[in-house]
Amino acid sequence: MSHPLVAMLAFTAGIAQFDVKLGDGAVNLKKALGAVEKLAGRGADIIVLPEMWPCGFDNRNLAAHAKATPHNLDIMARAASKFNVLIVGSMPEKGGRGIYNTAFVVDPQAGVIGKYRKVHLFSASSEPSFFEAGNRAVTVVTRYGRMGLMICFDLRFPELARALTLAGAQFIVVCAQWPVARVAHWDILTTARAVENQVFVVAANRCGKDPNLSFAGDSRILSPWGEKLAQTGQREASITARLDPAVLSRIRKELPCLTRRVPKAYEV
């Protein structure tokens, strides 16, 4: 599907990395709002929260958590307006067929301007038993340019990131709960998605522990060259980095991979 070209403006991306307390909406909301205020104070224009930030994968109680999502979105919209920031984060969403793991994009003036329902559900942790899968890639036109959206396991599917890029995404936002056991893959895949598509990647992971898993943290903001513009460790932290459209243009001009594609040759 073709999309109109959108000019990208320079902006500061921020990531809020925190330990998502399983099932504790009040604690997680307080952490998220505190991080938004802190990052706004550091000049962030777009702030990204981890996957399922209000409740974690408290799967047995998803219906109750999904019921709270409209209220949480209202609170985030007020925070976005108060601090003049755009906020992205994944939350449980009640849909016609069930509950989706949905990344919402909240604009400071217009409220929710886009959402993406996670397409690739992680079967190893029984996500398909509790969630419905989304069925389409999503880009969102923001005041800073066209954003592509991905959630955690989606990183293992390069087709999705390429579809977002071909649809005009200049930066891809990833919300995740990626475990320590596969942190090497997190490093490889976030970097690969940036380099192969020549886009900025803003990847927010959680840290801390659930009853059965430890999470890697290691959130990062990557340039289209794969450089780490900012990176966290394994503890709760906030980071920012400047995303410059001139860098994107220069890299795509110096190494014009996207314009050298031969789609017919890829047909088998």
Q: How far, in Å, CA of 245 to CA of 108, rounded?
A: 22
118 annotated active-site: yes
pLDDT tens digit string along 204-251?
Answer: 999 999 998 999 999 999 999 999 999 999 999 999 999 999 999 999
Note if 21 is an active site residue. no
CATH number of the domain bearing residue 226: 3.60.110.10
pLDDT at 254 over 60: yes
Instruction: Give the span between the Cα atoms of 144 and 65, in whole angstroms.
Output: 31
Q: Which domain holds residue 205?
A: 11-266
Q: How many domains, in total, are found in the chain?
A: 1
For the chain, give the longest Cα–Cα distance: 53
Q: Is 212 exposed, middle or buried (0-12, 13-18, 19+ CB in 10 A)?
A: exposed
- Asked if the structure places residue 5 within a domain, the reply is no
**Cβ partners under 8 Å of residue 94, min gap 6:** 63, 66, 67, 69
Residue 2: pLDDT band (50, 70, 90) is low
Question: What is the arithmetic mean of pLDDT over 14-34?
Answer: 98
Q: What is the pLDDT of residues 144-199, one digit of tens each?
A: 999 999 999 999 999 999 999 999 999 999 999 999 999 999 999 999 999 999 99
Residue 4 domain flag: no
Q: Does the structure show a pLDDT above 90 at 5?
A: no
**26: nearest Cα among 61, 5, 1, 53:** 53
Give the pLDDT of residue 59.
Answer: 95
Which pTM was predicted? Answer: 0.97
Catalytic (active site) residue 51: yes
142 belongs to a structural domain? yes
| Residue 215, in any domain of the structure | yes
Task: Count the neighbouring beta carbons within 10 Å of the beta carbon of residue 207.
Answer: 23
Catalytic residue among 118, 132, 175, 207: 118
Annotated active-site residue in 55, 93, 152, 175: 152
Give the model's confidence band at 124: pLDDT under 50 very low, under 70 low, under 90 confident, else very high: confident
